[in-house]
Amino acid sequence: MKNYHLSPSQFREEGKKIIDWIADYYEHIEKYPVLSQVKPGEIKNKLPENPPQKGESFDAMMRDLDEIIMPGITHWQSPNFYAYFPSNTSFPSILGDLVSSGLGVQGMIWATSPAATELETRVLDWLAEMMDMPEKFKSNSTGGGVIQDTASTSALTAVIAARERATKFESNKTGVRQKLVAYVSSQTHSSLEKAIKMAGIGSENLRVIDVDEQFAMQPELLEKQIQKDRTEGFQPFFVCATIGTTSSNAIDPVRQIGEICQKENCWMHVDAAMAGTAMLCPEFRHFKDGVELADSYCFNPHKWMFTNFDCDVFWVANRNELIHTFSILPEYLKNKATESGAVFDYRDWHVQLGRRFRSLKLWFVIRHYGIEGLQFHIRKHVEMAQNFAGWVKESNDFELVLDPPLNLVCFRHKSNDEFNMKLMNAVNETGKAFFTHTKLNGQVVLRMSIGQTHTEEKHVKDTWDLIQNSAISLEKA
């Protein structure tokens, strides 16, 4: 019978070639410019305007992958990628993700693949234990964990659940929401502002609390603002504390914020998107002091824990509040397991219905590295960042803007903002490394975010030499 499918034996053959292609890519990744050098429209213009009428060969596709697509790739997995934040991966994770694609499971409810749900529950409980998280985040307690696509989605989920709790699950009644106010710091990730907008709270009901000289939220200002809002008839309902802000890795005082939240009956969400992975190591756990006061907490294994995008771990202290907020049971999804109440249906824990089998890649990563392997690599990244900070301190031309708590170094050339931007662009244009900037206290700051899987000391050292030499060339020009 005619069909157009690839047979299992053809899949085996092409699949092996693609595994080889990926392995070759990693072996030769340093030959590519880290930051893609193409101009806007360059890739699109090389692609045919119309789709093929007849199917094409894998050889043709792979040729175009090399010739058309690869020049438009910014190599996030390069050991010389220091921009934004890490989005690292690893071979066990890639293989876990491949198995997930191969199984093609849609794990929206327990019944649609019990293993997809139960592995997720188990692995997130493992992680809670590996990071010494509060017992209440575990599935055998009042809470539990669920994998979301991103920290942005976790923020939205937390804000919506908090809104429902604050309004006794009646937020749809006219006017109830207009009184709700939420609190972030001036350094909180923009996804929180977006969540507040999307959850119908309104940007005008978002209060931005000032930070101290370490860029951490000032709890006394939070308390003052809450009191002011109460006197003006508002209902404070949500606060986000961050462990590792995006710009500078600042650590908010979680305990103090949590105590205010308890007193004021506000939901505390903790966003530890990048820095959360460091909680694998006991010596960094003081950064999460007070986390037992949190209502929800998220971190992204897809940033720093060697797990392919996308994978965000979201823990809540009270799963019933989440389920009460997100549960809808249409007739076509009714089944015995759900009715028995003995299972988790994760579609009740977030916005979307359908869900990928993402716990497989996490399971592969944790089992491959073990706690010991993960700790080893995280410590190495932190050590490399601390060494880089030391070189900056010793230099006559550069200054450290902050002592880095973990793996992000904020520094600048001692000249002006314009020079720093020129320097960054000059380094990035060489293609040998890629790093980015931010602004702190209105001043341009360069950021070295060290967390890619294959980054070694020699890469960091070569990049520091490149930065220094580029500065000298620019000064002479």
**Which residues in this chain contact ligand PLP in the complex, by CB under 6 A?**
85, 150-152, 189, 191, 242, 244-246, 271, 273-274, 300, 312
Least separation, in Å, of the C-beta of 366 and ligand PLP?
Answer: 20
How many other β-carbons are positioned within 10 Å of the β-carbon of residue 431? Answer: 17
The overall longest dimension of the chain from CA atoms, in Å, is: 75
**Closest to ligand PLP by CB, 264 or 312:** 312
- How big is the chain, counted in residues? 477
Q: Residue 434 pairs with which residues in a beta bridge?
A: 81
**Closest to ligand PLP by CB, 247 or 395:** 247
Least separation, in Å, of the C-beta of 149 and ligand PLP?
Answer: 7
Collapsing DSSP to helix, strand or coil, 423 comes out as helix
Least separation, in Å, of the C-beta of 250 and ligand PLP?
Answer: 10
Identity of the amino acid at 404: P
Collapsing DSSP to helix, strand or coil, 58 comes out as helix
**Closest to ligand PLP by CB, 89 or 246:** 246
Cis ω for the linkage preceding 310 (within 30 of 0): yes
**Closest to ligand PLP by CB, 312 or 321:** 312
Collapsing DSSP to helix, strand or coil, 436 comes out as strand
Q: For residues 463 and 470, give the distance between their C-alpha atoms in angstroms, rounded to a whole number.
A: 10
Least separation, in Å, of the C-beta of 325 and ligand PLP?
Answer: 20
**Closest to ligand PLP by CB, 288 or 413:** 288
**Closest to ligand PLP by CB, 189 or 350:** 189
Collapsing DSSP to helix, strand or coil, 443 comes out as strand
DSSP class of residue 32?
S
Least separation, in Å, of the C-beta of 249 and ligand PLP?
Answer: 9
Least separation, in Å, of the C-beta of 274 and ligand PLP?
Answer: 5
Alpha-helical runs (H) found in 137-253: 151-166, 190-198, 219-231
Least separation, in Å, of the C-beta of 75 and ligand PLP?
Answer: 18
Q: Residue 240 pairs with which residues in a beta bridge?
A: 269
Least separation, in Å, of the C-beta of 153 and ligand PLP?
Answer: 7
**Closest to ligand PLP by CB, 184 or 343:** 184
| In contact, 84 and 449? CB cutoff 8 Å | yes
In the chain, the N- to C-terminal Cα span, in Å, equals 71
Helix axes 319-326, 151-166, angle to 10 degrees: 90
**Closest to ligand PLP by CB, 271 or 295:** 271
Least separation, in Å, of the C-beta of 309 and ligand PLP?
Answer: 8
Q: For residues 301 and 276, give the distance between their C-alpha atoms in angstroms, rounded to a whole number.
A: 8
**Closest to ligand PLP by CB, 142 or 436:** 436
Collapsing DSSP to helix, strand or coil, 84 comes out as coil
Identity of the amino acid at 344: F
How many other β-carbons are positioned within 10 Å of the β-carbon of residue 224? Answer: 12
Collapsing DSSP to helix, strand or coil, 45 comes out as helix
